[in-house]
Amino acid sequence: GRKERDKKKSKKRHYDDDEEDEDDAPGKESQEAVPSAAGKQVEDSGTKVDEYGAKDYRQQMPLKADHASRPLWVAPDGHIFLEAFSPVYKYAQDFLVAIAEPVCRPTHIHEYKLTAYSLYAAVSVGLQTSDITDYLQKLSKTGVPDGIIQFIKLCTVSYGKVKLVLKHNRYFVESTHPDVIQQLLQDHIIKECRLRNAEGEETELITETFTSKSAISKSSEGGFGPSTSQGTDTQNKPDVPADLFEFYEQMDKDEEEEEEETQTVSFEVKRSE
Protein backbone atom coordinates (compact mmCIF):
# COMPACT_ATOMS: atom_id res chain seq x y z
CA GLY A 1 0.00 0.00 0.00
CA ARG A 2 0.86 3.47 1.04
CA LYS A 3 4.20 2.58 2.68
CA GLU A 4 5.44 0.99 -0.54
CA ARG A 5 4.42 4.07 -2.59
CA ASP A 6 6.24 6.38 -0.17
CA LYS A 7 9.29 4.12 -0.31
CA LYS A 8 9.33 4.27 -4.14
CA LYS A 9 9.01 8.08 -4.08
CA SER A 10 11.88 8.29 -1.61
CA LYS A 11 14.07 6.11 -3.86
CA LYS A 12 13.21 8.27 -6.89
CA ARG A 13 14.14 11.47 -5.04
CA HIS A 14 17.42 9.88 -3.94
CA TYR A 15 18.15 8.80 -7.53
CA ASP A 16 17.47 12.32 -8.86
CA ASP A 17 19.81 13.80 -6.23
CA ASP A 18 22.57 11.41 -7.34
CA GLU A 19 22.14 12.52 -10.95
CA GLU A 20 22.45 16.17 -9.94
CA ASP A 21 25.62 15.37 -7.98
CA GLU A 22 27.12 13.67 -11.03
CA ASP A 23 26.36 16.72 -13.18
CA ASP A 24 28.09 18.99 -10.66
CA ALA A 25 31.06 16.64 -10.22
CA PRO A 26 34.49 18.32 -10.47
CA GLY A 27 36.35 17.77 -13.71
CA LYS A 28 33.24 17.85 -15.92
CA GLU A 29 34.26 21.24 -17.29
CA SER A 30 37.77 19.97 -18.02
CA GLN A 31 36.31 17.45 -20.46
CA GLU A 32 35.46 20.37 -22.75
CA ALA A 33 39.20 20.84 -23.35
CA VAL A 34 39.56 17.31 -24.76
CA PRO A 35 39.94 17.34 -28.58
CA SER A 36 36.77 16.15 -30.36
CA ALA A 37 38.80 13.63 -32.36
CA ALA A 38 39.79 11.90 -29.13
CA GLY A 39 36.19 10.85 -28.58
CA LYS A 40 35.85 9.25 -32.00
CA GLN A 41 35.17 5.54 -32.24
CA VAL A 42 35.69 3.16 -35.13
CA GLU A 43 32.50 2.96 -37.16
CA ASP A 44 31.11 -0.54 -37.58
CA SER A 45 27.83 -0.69 -39.45
CA GLY A 46 26.10 -3.29 -41.59
CA THR A 47 27.64 -6.26 -39.77
CA LYS A 48 25.55 -9.40 -39.33
CA VAL A 49 25.06 -10.59 -35.76
CA ASP A 50 24.06 -14.18 -34.91
CA GLU A 51 21.65 -15.29 -32.17
CA TYR A 52 24.48 -15.28 -29.61
CA GLY A 53 25.53 -11.70 -30.35
CA ALA A 54 28.67 -12.70 -32.27
CA LYS A 55 29.55 -10.57 -35.32
CA ASP A 56 30.02 -12.26 -38.68
CA TYR A 57 32.81 -10.56 -40.65
CA ARG A 58 33.38 -13.30 -43.23
CA GLN A 59 31.95 -11.28 -46.12
CA GLN A 60 33.99 -8.19 -45.23
CA MET A 61 37.25 -9.93 -44.35
CA PRO A 62 38.36 -12.62 -46.82
CA LEU A 63 41.37 -14.60 -45.57
CA LYS A 64 44.81 -14.29 -47.17
CA ALA A 65 46.25 -17.43 -48.78
CA ASP A 66 48.93 -17.68 -46.05
CA HIS A 67 46.63 -16.62 -43.18
CA ALA A 68 47.77 -19.52 -40.99
CA SER A 69 51.24 -17.92 -40.76
CA ARG A 70 49.97 -14.48 -39.73
CA PRO A 71 49.03 -13.79 -36.10
CA LEU A 72 46.36 -11.05 -36.17
CA TRP A 73 42.66 -10.62 -36.82
CA VAL A 74 41.82 -6.93 -37.24
CA ALA A 75 38.04 -6.47 -36.92
CA PRO A 76 36.17 -3.51 -38.45
CA ASP A 77 35.10 -2.36 -34.96
CA GLY A 78 38.71 -1.72 -33.89
CA HIS A 79 39.22 -4.91 -31.88
CA ILE A 80 42.40 -6.86 -32.65
CA PHE A 81 42.89 -10.52 -31.77
CA LEU A 82 46.41 -11.97 -31.46
CA GLU A 83 47.33 -15.67 -31.53
CA ALA A 84 49.69 -16.16 -28.58
CA PHE A 85 50.99 -19.42 -30.12
CA SER A 86 52.21 -17.74 -33.33
CA PRO A 87 55.97 -17.95 -34.10
CA VAL A 88 55.97 -14.15 -34.51
CA TYR A 89 53.88 -13.55 -31.37
CA LYS A 90 56.57 -11.53 -29.57
CA TYR A 91 57.01 -9.08 -32.44
CA ALA A 92 53.26 -8.67 -32.86
CA GLN A 93 52.68 -8.24 -29.12
CA ASP A 94 55.35 -5.53 -28.84
CA PHE A 95 53.73 -3.69 -31.73
CA LEU A 96 50.19 -3.95 -30.35
CA VAL A 97 51.25 -2.70 -26.93
CA ALA A 98 52.55 0.42 -28.72
CA ILE A 99 49.40 1.17 -30.73
CA ALA A 100 46.41 -0.33 -28.88
CA GLU A 101 44.93 -0.88 -25.44
CA PRO A 102 44.78 -4.42 -23.99
CA VAL A 103 41.26 -5.74 -23.35
CA CYS A 104 41.98 -9.27 -22.13
CA ARG A 105 44.93 -11.65 -22.45
CA PRO A 106 44.06 -15.29 -21.71
CA THR A 107 46.45 -18.11 -22.60
CA HIS A 108 45.92 -18.55 -26.35
CA ILE A 109 44.18 -15.47 -27.78
CA HIS A 110 44.86 -11.90 -26.69
CA GLU A 111 42.44 -9.05 -27.41
CA TYR A 112 43.35 -5.39 -27.95
CA LYS A 113 41.40 -2.33 -29.05
CA LEU A 114 42.45 0.64 -31.15
CA THR A 115 41.46 3.95 -29.56
CA ALA A 116 42.24 7.57 -30.35
CA TYR A 117 44.38 7.86 -27.23
CA SER A 118 46.35 4.66 -27.91
CA LEU A 119 47.17 5.96 -31.39
CA TYR A 120 48.20 9.33 -29.96
CA ALA A 121 50.62 7.45 -27.70
CA ALA A 122 52.01 5.55 -30.70
CA VAL A 123 52.73 8.80 -32.54
CA SER A 124 54.35 10.29 -29.45
CA VAL A 125 57.10 7.62 -29.53
CA GLY A 126 57.85 8.30 -33.19
CA LEU A 127 55.64 5.86 -35.09
CA GLN A 128 54.28 7.30 -38.34
CA THR A 129 50.85 6.67 -39.87
CA SER A 130 52.39 4.53 -42.62
CA ASP A 131 54.36 2.47 -40.05
CA ILE A 132 51.17 1.52 -38.23
CA THR A 133 49.05 0.72 -41.29
CA ASP A 134 51.81 -1.18 -43.15
CA TYR A 135 52.70 -3.36 -40.18
CA LEU A 136 49.05 -4.14 -39.46
CA GLN A 137 48.62 -5.19 -43.10
CA LYS A 138 51.61 -7.52 -42.86
CA LEU A 139 50.54 -9.14 -39.58
CA SER A 140 46.84 -9.47 -40.37
CA LYS A 141 45.26 -12.71 -41.60
CA THR A 142 42.91 -10.60 -43.74
CA GLY A 143 43.13 -7.22 -45.38
CA VAL A 144 42.82 -4.40 -42.84
CA PRO A 145 39.30 -2.88 -43.21
CA ASP A 146 39.13 0.56 -44.86
CA GLY A 147 37.36 1.98 -41.81
CA ILE A 148 40.34 1.04 -39.63
CA ILE A 149 42.81 2.66 -42.05
CA GLN A 150 40.73 5.86 -42.08
CA PHE A 151 40.47 5.86 -38.28
CA ILE A 152 44.26 5.47 -37.91
CA LYS A 153 44.85 8.32 -40.37
CA LEU A 154 42.35 10.55 -38.59
CA CYS A 155 44.05 10.04 -35.23
CA THR A 156 47.69 10.17 -36.36
CA VAL A 157 48.02 12.31 -39.48
CA SER A 158 48.42 15.61 -37.61
CA TYR A 159 48.92 14.61 -33.97
CA GLY A 160 52.34 15.30 -32.44
CA LYS A 161 53.68 17.00 -35.56
CA VAL A 162 54.31 20.41 -33.94
CA LYS A 163 55.64 21.55 -30.58
CA LEU A 164 56.23 24.84 -28.81
CA VAL A 165 59.89 25.01 -27.75
CA LEU A 166 61.56 27.36 -25.27
CA LYS A 167 65.17 28.19 -26.25
CA HIS A 168 67.24 30.87 -24.51
CA ASN A 169 64.08 32.44 -23.11
CA ARG A 170 62.52 32.68 -26.60
CA TYR A 171 59.58 30.67 -27.95
CA PHE A 172 59.61 28.76 -31.24
CA VAL A 173 57.00 26.67 -33.05
CA GLU A 174 58.98 23.68 -34.30
CA SER A 175 58.29 20.66 -36.49
CA THR A 176 60.11 17.99 -38.49
CA HIS A 177 57.39 18.41 -41.14
CA PRO A 178 57.92 21.59 -43.23
CA ASP A 179 54.51 21.23 -44.88
CA VAL A 180 52.82 21.37 -41.47
CA ILE A 181 54.65 24.61 -40.61
CA GLN A 182 53.53 26.12 -43.92
CA GLN A 183 49.97 25.01 -43.23
CA LEU A 184 50.03 26.66 -39.80
CA LEU A 185 51.32 29.91 -41.26
CA GLN A 186 48.28 30.05 -43.55
CA ASP A 187 46.14 30.56 -40.45
CA HIS A 188 45.79 34.32 -39.93
CA ILE A 189 45.74 34.06 -36.11
CA ILE A 190 48.98 32.04 -35.99
CA LYS A 191 50.53 34.28 -38.65
CA GLU A 192 49.88 37.34 -36.46
CA CYS A 193 51.77 35.66 -33.60
CA ARG A 194 54.93 35.26 -35.68
CA LEU A 195 57.81 37.50 -34.59
CA ARG A 196 58.62 40.44 -36.87
CA ASN A 197 61.82 42.49 -37.07
CA ALA A 198 62.18 46.23 -36.45
CA GLU A 199 61.00 46.99 -40.01
CA GLY A 200 57.83 44.94 -39.45
CA GLU A 201 58.95 42.11 -41.72
CA GLU A 202 58.47 38.46 -40.78
CA THR A 203 61.59 36.69 -39.55
CA GLU A 204 62.87 33.82 -41.68
CA LEU A 205 62.14 30.17 -41.00
CA ILE A 206 64.92 28.47 -39.04
CA THR A 207 66.22 25.11 -40.27
CA GLU A 208 68.30 22.89 -37.98
CA THR A 209 69.73 19.40 -38.35
CA PHE A 210 70.54 17.11 -35.46
CA THR A 211 71.25 13.44 -34.88
CA SER A 212 68.84 11.30 -32.90
CA LYS A 213 67.86 7.67 -32.41
CA SER A 214 65.34 6.28 -34.86
CA ALA A 215 61.73 5.76 -33.82
CA ILE A 216 62.22 2.01 -34.00
CA SER A 217 65.25 2.11 -31.73
CA LYS A 218 63.47 4.36 -29.23
CA SER A 219 60.39 2.16 -29.13
CA SER A 220 62.45 -0.98 -28.54
CA GLU A 221 64.06 0.68 -25.51
CA GLY A 222 60.59 1.31 -24.17
CA GLY A 223 59.73 -2.36 -24.44
CA PHE A 224 57.51 -2.35 -27.51
CA GLY A 225 59.83 -2.23 -30.49
CA PRO A 226 61.23 -5.17 -32.43
CA SER A 227 62.24 -7.82 -29.95
CA THR A 228 65.51 -9.67 -30.42
CA SER A 229 64.61 -12.27 -27.79
CA GLN A 230 62.82 -14.44 -30.35
CA GLY A 231 64.84 -13.51 -33.42
CA THR A 232 66.45 -16.93 -33.68
CA ASP A 233 63.16 -18.73 -33.18
CA THR A 234 61.57 -16.69 -35.96
CA GLN A 235 64.35 -17.45 -38.42
CA ASN A 236 64.07 -21.18 -37.72
CA LYS A 237 60.35 -21.24 -38.56
CA PRO A 238 59.69 -22.02 -42.24
CA ASP A 239 56.05 -20.86 -41.99
CA VAL A 240 56.80 -17.16 -41.41
CA PRO A 241 55.77 -15.13 -44.53
CA ALA A 242 58.59 -13.63 -46.60
CA ASP A 243 57.32 -10.06 -46.29
CA LEU A 244 57.48 -10.33 -42.48
CA PHE A 245 61.06 -11.63 -42.73
CA GLU A 246 62.03 -8.62 -44.85
CA PHE A 247 60.25 -6.27 -42.47
CA TYR A 248 62.10 -7.66 -39.43
CA GLU A 249 65.43 -7.48 -41.27
CA GLN A 250 64.83 -3.81 -42.05
CA MET A 251 63.91 -3.17 -38.42
CA ASP A 252 67.09 -4.86 -37.23
CA LYS A 253 69.19 -2.77 -39.65
CA ASP A 254 67.53 0.43 -38.45
CA GLU A 255 68.12 -0.59 -34.85
CA GLU A 256 71.82 -1.32 -35.51
CA GLU A 257 72.28 2.04 -37.20
CA GLU A 258 70.46 3.57 -34.22
CA GLU A 259 71.16 7.20 -35.12
CA GLU A 260 69.56 9.15 -37.92
CA GLU A 261 69.68 12.76 -39.05
CA THR A 262 66.57 14.79 -38.33
CA GLN A 263 65.83 18.20 -39.79
CA THR A 264 63.51 20.63 -38.04
CA VAL A 265 61.86 23.79 -39.30
CA SER A 266 60.73 26.47 -36.85
CA PHE A 267 59.66 30.09 -36.52
CA GLU A 268 59.83 32.39 -33.51
CA VAL A 269 56.65 33.70 -31.93
CA LYS A 270 56.08 37.01 -30.18
CA ARG A 271 56.09 37.05 -26.42
CA SER A 272 53.01 38.50 -24.76
CA GLU A 273 53.54 41.95 -23.28
pLDDT in tens, 155-198: 998 888 899 999 999 999 999 889 999 999 999 999 999 998 87
State the average pLDDT over residues 186-215: 83
DSSP assignment, residue 218? Answer: H
Q: Is the same domain home to 69 and 129?
A: yes
Domain closes at, from 122, 138, 158: 158
Task: Measure the CA–CA gap between 11 and 61, rounded to whole angstroms.
Answer: 49
- Rg of the chain over Cα atoms, rounded to whole angstroms, equals 25
Query: Domain containing 199: what range?
Result: 162-212+263-268
pLDDT at 242: 78
Q: Cα 60 from chain centroid?
A: 24
DSSP assignment, residue 36? Answer: G
Is 166 within a domain? Answer: yes
Is 118 within a domain? Answer: yes
In the chain, the N- to C-terminal Cα span, in Å, equals: 72
pLDDT at 110: 97
pTM greater than 0.75 (yes/no): no
Is 70 within a domain? Answer: yes
Angle (CA) 142-145-147 rounded to 5° is: 170
- Structurally, the chain folds into a number of domains equal to 2
Instruction: List, for residues 33-61, the tens digit of each pLDDT value.
Output: 445 555 556 665 667 787 787 878 877 78
Is 227 within a domain? Answer: no
3-state secondary structure 131-155: HHHHHHHHHECECCCHHHHHHHHHH
Task: Measure the CA–CA gap between 13 and 2, rounded to whole angstroms.
Answer: 17
